[in-house]
Structure 1
Amino acid sequence: MRREEMSDLIAFLAVAEERSFTRAAARLETSQSAVSAVIRRLEERLGVRLLMRTTRSVSPTEAGRRLADALRPALDGIEAELAALDAMRARPSGMIRITAGHHPARQILFPAVSRLMAEHPDVHVEIVVDSRFVDIAREGFDAGVRLGESLDKDMVAVRISPDLQMVVAGSPDYFRNHPKPRTPHDLTHHRCINLRLPTLGGLYVWEFEKDGRPLNVRVEGQFICNEPDLLIEAALSGHGLLCLPSDHLAAYLEAGALVRVLEDWCRLAGYHLYYPSRRQMTPAFRLLVEALRWRG
């Protein structure tokens, strides 16, 4: 049904209920002549007379009564649904599904989600912890979390954390037997602990930058894993150097269990929430985005 046809039916129902073109025009906030023109157009299109007109009154014909009886509950249903949608807008509700790695899920997502659920009981949240880069649209997620803001063209990235330096570190025991690297090129003479990327199955290439000059290094060593916590265990056990975001390693560095190297070469990155640019934000999702947005 075209928009003008719906408008014609609404105008007809107003006349049928008011029994007056004048009162119907006032109700519709238009002119009497405009309402009369709409009714003529509707009757011509349907090929049946809907209203009996006299100089003193207007009343529906049998066909007009049948049409009015069908229209009223239908329009009431539409109005009720619009009212419900308006209430939904005013009272955030619904399910939000997010995928994230273990660390941002625990340190960033859950604190914000916990506050959101406490303030809005009708909002439900599912966090799926997964270290791989998920196709959120295909797998039914509303959003995901990853380091950096380099995304596909149809995605929006919202920063949700401060910059986190990538840290290269090893245990004191390891450095008792190996000299500290002075440049990333020295890593070719060290045992390094490799991170297996879950998305494509390749190994993470260690990324460095100094004075605006980027440098990527492929490292080698005895141990490979796709789980950051096990990479840390391997480094603590003296199996080599590792490269992870600073927030994974802060406690170990502070305690002296790991020793940082190549500090002036390490790149900065931050966690971002990403979601499709074409996504129509629900009130609940908008609240979550604002709760997570980094304002430092």
Structure 2
Amino acid sequence: MKLELAPSPAMDRAFPWRSPRDPMNRVYEPFADADGRVHPEVVARADEITATMLRHRTTLKAIARDPEDHRLPDTVTNAQLEAVWPVLDASVAAEIRRLTRGEDLKTPVVRIDRVKSEHVPEHEQVLVGQWGLFFATWPPSRSKRRRPSLLNGQILGMYMGAVLDDPEALEYWEEVYETYPAYTLSLGADTRYESTMAAEGAANAAVFANTATKVVKKRNGGQKLAIDEDRVNSMFLEFVVRMPVPGGGVKAQTIGAVVALENAFDQKTNPYGVVVVGYGDDYLPNLTG
């Protein structure tokens, strides 16, 4: 199935973990009732949901310490960042509770729109006409404390996708969706929380964030694409969410939350308010074919 992944407003209030068999209409089975909706017992216990950032703390501290890395100001101390972690945990838990209950977001912080020629450099003009992620309010607030940023402990959204942790589910997904793994997020690698989510079948706003690339020379001649870290202004952080399950008990489920770094709000380098995520070098084959 090779279809353009299209936005669906209903998905921005939908439970983020989806069933690989019918992602548009059914939630991931451990949290579902017989009809594929979020199980009433899970909804009733939504207040018990908690979230903990799995890693990236060291990475974020290194970004802040590097005077050449403008994604976070080098004036931010380790202590200030450490104070952000529990706020981020609480933000993710609150968002998962909202999605578990199927509630609308009162004030969306991002929007999906078509990419225009001026939004991307010459070598990325292939993205023109495709969907991208933008800040809902632009220019940003002059008050840094009111911006939906990492340093304020805020998130832009959760990654939605079918959970492909079962080998049979993964095999089925590869057969059905020709674009796999273009919209796949690998989570918790080398930990006991390892998981894979794929959004080809159902997607919310966070899934539509594009990445940034640059053209570099190969050692043996020619050119290739590389991630342009200077333009990347957001990233996915991995969280372990402890979810109630039907019949009692709790299941730890991994998910990604997209957060905005400080350079996302720089109008000189980001004049159009585009959310640009760094998916890493492993994502490059999806761009080059």
Higher helix proportion, which one?
1
TM-score by length of 1: 0.23
Q: Which has the higher contact order (CA 8 A, sep 6+)?
A: 2
Q: Which has the larger radius of gyration?
A: 1
